[in-house]
Amino acid sequence: MSTRVFLQCLVMAMALTAIVVEEAYGIPICNIDTNDLGQCRAAVTGNQPPPPTGECCGVIKRSDLSCLCKYKSYLPAVGIDPSKATTLLSKCGISNAPPACYA
């Protein structure tokens, strides 16, 4: 194995390790840990998603909705339909969502 190939493999391994470590710890955003958002993934993906779980609703209720709704336009990039994400609010009994959630 050449030195160049070895260094490329080493860099790739370091990058993957950094991604895994970051995923394990999550990133705090809008008063919640990004790993906690996984609780809602099933309820916002697919053609006929199931209702949100109690854990999912708990995550949404703990979040800063004014902050979280600002990220709505980025959802398609991670495979989430924004309209399905918006329906979580009513399905979780949240009636005071900011206008940014419905825009």
Number of domains in the chain: 1
| 9 occurs within a structural domain | no
Rounded Cα–Cα distance for residues 7 and 5 (Å): 5
Question: At residue 10, what is the residue type?
Answer: L
pLDDT for 20 equals 46
The tens digit of pLDDT for each residue in 21-32 reads 444 567 788 888
| 4 occurs within a structural domain | no
| 16 occurs within a structural domain | no
Instruction: Give Cβ neighbours of residue 1 (< 8 Å, ≥ 6 apart).
Output: none
The tens digit of pLDDT for each residue in 3-42 reads 554 545 444 444 444 444 444 567 788 888 878 888 888 8
The tens digit of pLDDT for each residue in 50-103 reads 999 999 999 889 888 888 888 888 878 777 788 888 888 889 998 888 887 777
pLDDT for 15 equals 44
Instruction: Give Cβ neighbours of residue 65 (< 8 Å, ≥ 6 apart).
Output: 30, 89, 94, 97, 98, 101
pLDDT for 24 equals 55
CB 52 within 8 A of CB 92: yes
pLDDT for 32 equals 84
Domain range for 94: 28-101
Return the CATH number at 95.
Answer: 1.10.110.10
Question: At residue 44, what is the residue type?
Answer: V
